[in-house]
Structure 1
């Protein structure tokens, strides 16, 4: 296999490998790095591909092992040990821009396997259990193929899957199975109203959008605000009064198949500068907001100034 042939075959699977590594790691930045590492390892081992499996399965095996190696690194082990129990406070969690999910040739990604709640919850699984759950329940691979890929017995795969499913249920939000898929009018309408209210600094309009039991989290800082009142206590001094940050500009975007907003502020200057990205879960109003630092603007190709 020459370099051109390898590059052509590998490029067909780059998008789905990025999603796979993202599910394993929870970090878009780390996933990008691990895709590159996967393709480098594959190129070095290209003579070992004998066609007993598909080229796609061979790449997945290399990618999974690269992710397991990364998860075993001392830095990630320390991060995992320090992670608090609630599902959304995973310090390394990053959003996944929908523009990469919608690229030509990208594999169709089911919303429930990419939404932030699922991504955060599976980070609580031990790495090998996580790999088994993703292979079996997300990718739909049979137990024997999963066992061969992970160098486990079929019995061990079945046991790991059972334990993984149990841990996943414990860490997913309550009643998640009852969430209504709202990729249509409600989400878009709430997103429109959220953008308009933010730019007007209209706290009353924002209050109307929040469910009483709404929740806001801020990885990597581990900050959690439970309930509408707690969220409003956070927002009020930022939006109103002498200590208000300034004039706001908000751009609607989409992340993890969820509506999201990139927020900018102008303070005594001529340009708006990045503040944060809010990813919304909408279900009869805003049920949850996951707020990411301004460093994630680069992931979405957002301008550094407006």
Structure 2
């Protein structure tokens, strides 16, 4: 508990704080990782995931006054970080990464799903986050049929927390921010893993997205 706070917990304001909720939801993973572990855990559990003080106390095996202190400090640090300029360098793709990513996106946007399937590794794995997991070319191949039946997507290349990704826009609202994202991993020029956040769009709200 010494790592949480030197302050009197009774002097700390009530942990229910709508302003802090909004700040936490807007913070990127990069920003959260700059908080000490105790502060980061407490802020995410309460302001992002909505756990109560008692639930956080039980999960972290820490007293409620210590949790309140960590929330107080973590929220203050988030406010400070929000005012700092982001001086990180713009991430870059290697030529090989750009070629693979653009080829996948171009074929997908053209709805040439047979060509997309040709890019899959035999042992490809897919996670439709918050929905299902598929393994192997045959199972994963059914995933593309679902996209063929809807019109609410257009893929563009970008980054999610400095990682190459597909950002998904609504073609009917081109000025809107990306609705969700898809992470890909390659091995020997073949697509090895797909993580699609179509059914977990809250992830895009708290991640740092950059459109190429």
TM-score of the two chains, using structure 2 as the length reference? 0.53
Q: 2:147 aligns with which of 220, 238, 241?
A: 238
Tell me, what secondary structure is at the counterpart of 1:191? helix
Structure with greater helix share of residues: 1
The structure with higher relative contact order (CA 8 Å, sep 6+) is 2
Structure 2: unaligned runs, 5 residues or longer: 1-26, 46-52, 60-85
> Is 1:253 aligned to residue 158 of structure 2?
yes
How far apart are 1:282 and its partner, in Å? 1.4
Give how far 1:296 is off. Answer: 3.5
- For the 8 Å contact 1:216–1:226, the answer to whether it is kept is yes
Counterpart CA distance in 1 for 2:54 and 2:184 is 32
Map of 1:281 onto structure 2:
185
What is the TM-score of this pair, normalised by structure 1? 0.38
Paired residues of 1:199 and 1:247 also in contact (CA < 8 A):
no
Deviations 1:23-60 (A, max 9, x none): xxxxx65774685xx5xxxxxxxxxxxxxxxxxxxxxx
Structure 1 residue runs of 4+, over 6 Å off? none
Match for residue 228 of structure 1?
137
Find the partner of 1:194 among 100, 104, 110.
104
Superposition deviation, residue 65 in structure 1: 3.2
Counterpart pick for 2:168 among 263, 268, 285: 263
Corresponding residue for residue 212 of structure 1:
122
Q: Number of residue pairs matched?
A: 143
Question: C-alpha distance in 1, partners of 2:30/2:104?
Answer: 30
Does the 8 A contact of 1:200 with 1:248 survive in 2? no
Query: Given that residues 125 and 134 in structure 2 are in contact (C-alpha distance below 8 angstroms), is that contact kept between their aligned partners in structure 1?
Result: yes
Within-5 A mapping of 1:1-306: 32=31, 63-67=36-40, 69=42, 74=55, 103-104=86-87, 106=88, 184-219=94-129, 221=130, 223-239=132-148, 244-246=149-151, 248-266=153-171, 270-271=172-173, 274-284=178-188, 285-292=190-197, 293-298=200-205, 299-300=207-208
For residue 64 of structure 1, report the CA deviation from its aligned partner: 2.7
SS of 1:201's equivalent? coil
8 Å Cα contact 1:245-1:265 kept in structure 2: no
